[in-house]
Amino acid sequence: MRYYSTRNRGETFSFAEAAIAGLAPDGGLFIPEEIPQYPAAVKTSLGTMDFCDIAFETIKLYVKDDIPGAVLADIVHSAYPFGAPLVAVDSMLALELFHGPTAAFKDFGARFMARVFAYIRRGEDKPLRILVATSGDTGGAVADGFFDVPGIFVTVLYPKGRVTPLQEKQIAGLGKNICALAVEGSFDDCQRLVKAALADNDLRKKTALSSANSINICRLIPQASYYTAAAGRALAGITDPDGDATPRAGGKGGQSGGGNQPAGKGAAGCGPVTLCVPSGNFGNLTAGLYAMKMGAPVKQFIAATNVNKTVPDYLDSGEYLERITQATISNAMDVGAPSNFERMAAHFSWEQMRQAILGVWVPDEDTREAIKRVYSEEGYFLDPHSAVAWKGIEKLKAENKTGEGPVGILCTAHPAKFSEVVEPLIGAVPVPASLERAMDRKVNSKTIPPETAALLEELR
């Protein structure tokens, strides 16, 4: 499989080249030259396959020229000991993507990427320096994924005072090969500094540099796996028992015990699933579109955003108008100019996107209402991002826009990660063990002004 830039189909790259480069030399995003198909034997056994086996079958098709099968199998098993349970919450399916160490779905991309980088760079003696700008969740996932990986150093830039205390501990509490810089400015300043450093020729001569932001194809591909896993289970009418960190109040209809369980009566149903994806930069939804194209039994996607509704508006009108970002309570989705849109548009026309995706947006007051109601009626704790997805489905149902078949939401973060928003609405949220460990860490970061020279100084 070769890769090319969204802006130039003339030159192709290997997976390894695309992964290490991150962004194409012309500023475009890397895309595979074609979206591969699952073999028939895989498609017919999805409902009963283990998550790691589905991840292996998915990723293999994209990386087989660069990563031998036995190595990929090791990578997948070491990256994903936690899986992606599909649990029933009344008649809704919840695809829980927060069972990893930083309690958000970004663990799926970051943990794979760290292992792939270590493999690709085996035998190199020049260390690799990875720069990443974060508004909160990405930094923690990347820091955790790359922690203690030999030969790789990570510098995370985050806006000082604008991430939650827990996020800051996830970013700046690890130490060793992870260096945290608190930038006196905004997320946009952090991004600007990273771009400037990556383009600095003096620095490039001395150090091998890379970046780990969410447009890296290496983070996107593994995310297709959980869509396929969830769609396979929904088709077969199978849901999983609650995981260790499933945020469900005791005695409220939770499923416990081991083994697969058939969906409760009227709960999931069987058939191709409609999945609602709470979206910001649209990497997650793009991975879903890949899975669908590969043959995963997804009926349709719903792209749910907060008030930063650039893509729902585009689906409506066919006109793409970037907006100025507005702050909301689902802040990991506060993106007015989603960077993965360029990738979606390179693969699909407006008509094709409208066939595959329904757009919807949800204001903060409705998000809060959904968190409260789902807790009081179902005993299930939603984080603000997952609540946007829940409410988004309800809105479209009320307008008769969703059809038959099971429906599900992607739960992109554990509610305890956003306790500042959730607890005033519904009280104490159960905290998973991984977050408890992170809360015990001490922040060790250095504050820098929002100037390129200050970052370059740190990197020398």
Ligand X SMILES: *Cc1c(COP(=O)(O)O)cnc(C)c1O
Nearest distance in Å: CB 205, ligand X: 33
Quick one: 72 or 217, whose CB is closer to ligand X?
217
Q: How many residues bind ligand X (CB under 6 A)?
A: 16
Site residues (CB under 6 A) for ligand X, limited to 133-162: 137
Which of 95, 448 has the CB closer to ligand X? 95
In 393-438 the beta strands, taken as DSSP E runs, fall at 407-411
Amino acid at site 384 = P
Return the number of the residue (214 or 419) whose C-beta is nearest ligand X: 214
* Structural tokens at position 207: 């150090």
Question: Among residue numbers 192 through 251, which ones bind ligand X (CB under 6 A)?
Answer: 214
> Under the criterion CB under 6 A, does residue 333 sit at the interface with ligand X?
yes
Q: Burial letters for 319-355: b for 16+ Cβ neighbours within 10 Å, e otherwise?
A: eeeeeebeebbbbbbbbeebbbbbbbeebbeeeebee
DSSP secondary structure, 314-361, as one string:
HHHHS----------SSGGG--SS-TTHHHHHHH--HHHHHHHEEEEE
128 or 356: whose CB is closer to ligand X?
356
Distance CA 220, CA 376 (A): 35
CA–CA distance, 108 with 225 (Å, rounded to integer): 9
* Position among 385, 389, 393, 416 found at the interface with ligand X (CB under 6 A): 385
**Whole-angstrom Cα distance, residue 158 to residue 155?**
10
Q: Report the nearest approach of ligand X to the CB of residue 339 (Å).
A: 8
Beta carbon of residue 166, minimum distance to ligand X (angstroms, whole number): 13
CB of 167 to ligand X, least distance (A): 10
Smallest separation, CB 125 to ligand X (Å): 34
CB of 76 to ligand X, least distance (A): 21
Please report how close the Cβ of residue 217 comes to ligand X at its closest, in angstroms. 13
| Backbone angles phi and psi of 160, in degrees to 5 | -60, 130
Comparing CB distances to ligand X, the nearer of 141 and 229 is: 141
Amino acid at 374: V
Q: Which is nearer to ligand X, 142 or 448 (CB)?
A: 142
Beta carbon of residue 434, minimum distance to ligand X (angstroms, whole number): 15
Q: For the segment 246-285, give every residue that binds ligand X (CB under 6 A).
A: 278-284
Cα separation, 187 vs 332, in Å, equals 11
Q: Helices 364-378 and 384-398 sit at what angle, rounded to 10 degrees?
A: 90
CB 106 → ligand X: shortest distance, Å? 6
| Closer residue to ligand X, CB minimum distance, 102 or 177 | 102
Which of helix, strand or coil describes residue 447? strand
- Which pairs from 87-90 meet CB under 8 Å and 24+ separation? 87/239, 87/240, 87/241, 87/242, 87/243, 87/246, 87/255, 88/239, 88/255, 88/263, 88/264, 88/267, 88/268, 89/248, 89/253, 89/374, 89/378, 89/380, 90/253, 90/267, 90/377, 90/378
Instruction: Specify the residue, 5 or 213, whose C-beta has the smaller distance to ligand X.
Output: 213
Place of tokens 């998550």: 51
Q: Which is nearer to ligand X, 281 or 445 (CB)?
A: 281
Window 78-117: contact mask with ligand X (x via CB under 6 A): --------------------------x-x-----------
**Residue 138 Cβ, how far from ligand X at the closest point, in Å?**
7
Query: Which of 119, 19, 2 is closest to 69 using CA atoms?
Result: 119
**Sign of the CA dihedral 432, 437, 442, 448?**
negative
412 near ligand X, rule: CB under 6 A: yes
Task: Show the tokens assigned to 210.
Answer: 């890379």
Q: Which is nearer to ligand X, 155 or 281 (CB)?
A: 281
Is 359 among the residues that bind ligand X (CB under 6 A)? no
Among 132, 166, 332, 438, binds ligand X (CB under 6 A): 332
> What single-letter DSSP state applies at residue 48?
G
For residue 200, the surrounding DSSP H or E stretch is none
Cβ of residue 453: shortest distance to ligand X, in angstroms? Answer: 30
Q: Which is nearer to ligand X, 119 or 348 (CB)?
A: 348
What residue ranges bind ligand X (CB under 6 A)?
104, 106, 137, 214, 278-284, 332-333, 385, 412-413
